Amino acid sequence: MTAPSHESRHARACRVIPGGVNSPVRAFRSVGGSPIFMRSAKGPRITDADGREYIDFVCSWGPMILGHAYPSVVAAIVKAAADGTSFGACTEAETEMAEAIRDCVPSVEKVRLVCSGTEATMSAVRLARGYTGREKIVKFRGCYHGHGDSFLIQAGSGALTFGNPSSPGVTRGSAQDTLLAEYNDLDSVRALFKACGDEIAAVIVEPVAGNMGVLVPEPGFLPGLRALCDGRKTLLIFDEVITGFRLGLAGAQGYYGVAPDLTTLGKILGGGLPLAAYGGRADIMDQLSPVGPVYQAGTLAGNPLATAAGLAMLAEVRKPGFYDTLNRRSESWEADLRGALKGASVPWCINRAGSLLTVFFAAGPVRDYASALKSDTKLYGRFFHAMLDRGIYLAPSQFEAAFLSAAHDDQVMARTAEAVKQAVAGL
């Protein structure tokens, strides 16, 4: 019997799982080749099923800000599991998690725990519609808020990667209630308010867009959204599934000083387990059942293992200096990359916000959906594989972010910079 390969593992998976993946962006479709099957991870490194080790900049698409298999997080999960894995009843850990989110994110007075970012954004939009009695929402082309019907209209992430930013299966009824604006373009939002202002329940935005690659809000953009929403009594929803506990304890809203009415969180919140949340003003959140009429529920919501992992993770990131150190290391990460890319024969530019970064194969600046689309995705695919061959695992798509963890030490960063230099020389 021949030893399995990633190709044979993938062929086997494809016989029972569409595309052999449980989430499309894992399929390597846009970078080419067969997806790599991973088996374990520790700190900044991930090991594939053949025992090959890579320095990991995917970090499970964001959650692993401490690094993989962080001892206190693993210990918390093991301890919680010994006491039972799910009760479907109230636990004090859920209250502690909700109190921690409220204490870290000032705009959040009350919060509801769910199991995924998609659940959080879907529920936040339903709540905004229930609270305002309005039906339309505004999203931004290229922003991704999970796979809820309302959002799969000109979406980012995998939807953009595979060229289906608007998904079949989303009904005209859903699509007609989703209005599209341009990221970093307040005039495009003003035009929608002019046309349908009193029908708009909410504007939902990734305050730092992470699903077109990383796009940074230009000065005035986020405050401008706040003002436009205030003017029409429309709710502002910050989708901080990526940026929450990534840019700081108060996420992007703390980083940029703009308070939304509702916030969605995920990824880091669960320390790698399925935990997400949405929260905001108490008068809005109290519209939720069983207090109010807006319904949302979940069998595994606030699951004891996920809350244990999340609380252990929060205990680490709340330690003094955690984000200063991470953001300082992220600055040198960017400087290393710029040094390694200098003199490259191909167009490139870098966008970074905190420990979120994207190298675009485009002359830049990349400031919105249209400029992100100018990226040379084929060149990115060649860069991806050149880095993979050198033991560096990047996102298998140009339209994603690279994530740094607290475990990415100087030695790992120096090795990465050297690999970039060699990879770019061969493009």
Residue 258 lies near ligand KE4 (rule: CB under 6 A): no
Give the C-alpha separation, 99 to 109, whole Å.
9
In 3-state terms, what secondary structure has residue 13? helix
Rank residues 158 and 280 by Cβ distance to ligand KE4 and give the closer one: 158
Residue 266 lies near ligand KE4 (rule: CB under 6 A): yes
Q: How many residues bind ligand KE4 (CB under 6 A)?
A: 21
Give the C-alpha separation, 180 to 188, whole Å.
8
Residue listed under structure tokens 């919060």 = 111
Among the listed ranges 50-58, 126-134, 143-151, 183-191, the one in contact with ligand KE4 (CB under 6 A) is 143-151
Residue 252 lies near ligand KE4 (rule: CB under 6 A): no
Q: Which residue is nearest to ligand KE4 (CB)?
A: 117
Rank residues 55 and 252 by Cβ distance to ligand KE4 and give the closer one: 252
Residue 210 lies near ligand KE4 (rule: CB under 6 A): yes
State the minimum distance, in angstroms, from the CB of residue 31 to ligand KE4.
14
Residue 251 lies near ligand KE4 (rule: CB under 6 A): no
Q: Please, is 195 exposed, middle or buried when counting C-beta atoms within 10 Å of its C-beta (0-12, 13-18, 19+)? A: exposed
Q: Which of 56, 177, 185, 239 is catalytic?
A: 239
Residue 242 lies near ligand KE4 (rule: CB under 6 A): yes
Give the C-alpha separation, 235 to 278, whole Å.
14
In 3-state terms, what secondary structure has residue 311? helix
- Reference 32, options 381, 379, 389; nearest CA is 381
Residue 205 lies near ligand KE4 (rule: CB under 6 A): no
Residue 118 lies near ligand KE4 (rule: CB under 6 A): yes
User: Contact with ligand KE4 (CB under 6 A): which of 56, 185, 239, 376?
Assistant: 239
Residue 42, CA distances (Å) to 53, 62, 69, 73, 427 in order? 10, 15, 5, 12, 31
Is 149 known to be catalytic?
no
Residue 65 lies near ligand KE4 (rule: CB under 6 A): no
In 3-state terms, what secondary structure has residue 107? coil
Residue 59 tokens read as 């970090």
User: Contact with ligand KE4 (CB under 6 A): which of 142, 146, 224, 251?
Assistant: 146
Q: Please, is 180 exposed, middle or buried when counting C-beta atoms within 10 Å of its C-beta (0-12, 13-18, 19+)? A: middle
Is 286 known to be catalytic?
no
Give the C-alpha separation, 113 to 277, whole Å.
4
Among the listed ranges 73-81, 114-122, 161-169, 299-307, the one in contact with ligand KE4 (CB under 6 A) is 114-122
Residue 144 lies near ligand KE4 (rule: CB under 6 A): yes
Long-range contacts of 27-32 (CB under 8 A, 24+ apart): 27/396, 28/396, 29/161, 29/162, 30/161, 30/162, 30/377, 30/380, 30/381, 30/396, 30/397, 30/398, 31/380, 31/381, 31/384, 31/385, 31/396, 31/397, 32/381, 32/385
Q: Which of 70, 144, 255, 278 is catalytic?
A: 144
User: Contact with ligand KE4 (CB under 6 A): which of 94, 261, 368, 400?
Assistant: 400
Give the C-alpha separation, 341 to 344, whole Å.
5
**Is residue 354 within 8 Å of residue 248, measured between CB atoms?**
yes
Residue 25 lies near ligand KE4 (rule: CB under 6 A): yes
**Is residue 214 within 8 Å of residue 183, measured between CB atoms?**
no
Residue 166 lies near ligand KE4 (rule: CB under 6 A): no
User: Contact with ligand KE4 (CB under 6 A): which of 145, 246, 352, 367?
Assistant: 145
Contacts of residue 81, defined as CB under 8 A and 6 or more positions apart, other chains included, come to: 305
Residue 20 lies near ligand KE4 (rule: CB under 6 A): no
Rank residues 210 and 224 by Cβ distance to ligand KE4 and give the closer one: 210
The 3-class secondary structure across 267-278, one letter per residue, is HHHHCCCCCEEE
Residue 271, CA distances (Å) to 93, 116, 134 in order? 14, 13, 35
Is 239 known to be catalytic?
yes
State the minimum distance, in angstroms, from the CB of residue 273 to ligand KE4.
11
In 3-state terms, what secondary structure has residue 47? strand
User: Contact with ligand KE4 (CB under 6 A): which of 116, 123, 161, 375?
Assistant: 116
Rank residues 210 and 381 by Cβ distance to ligand KE4 and give the closer one: 210
Among the listed ranges 81-89, 117-125, 249-257, 342-350, the one in contact with ligand KE4 (CB under 6 A) is 117-125
User: Contact with ligand KE4 (CB under 6 A): which of 114, 215, 241, 420?
Assistant: 241
In 3-state terms, what secondary structure has residue 110? strand
Residue 211 lies near ligand KE4 (rule: CB under 6 A): yes
Rank residues 155 and 392 by Cβ distance to ligand KE4 and give the closer one: 155
Residue 254 lies near ligand KE4 (rule: CB under 6 A): no
The residues of the shown chain that bind ligand KE4, judged by CB under 6 A, are 23, 25, 61, 116-118, 121, 144-146, 157-158, 206, 210-211, 239, 241-242, 266, 276, 400
As annotated, the active-site residues are 144, 239, 267
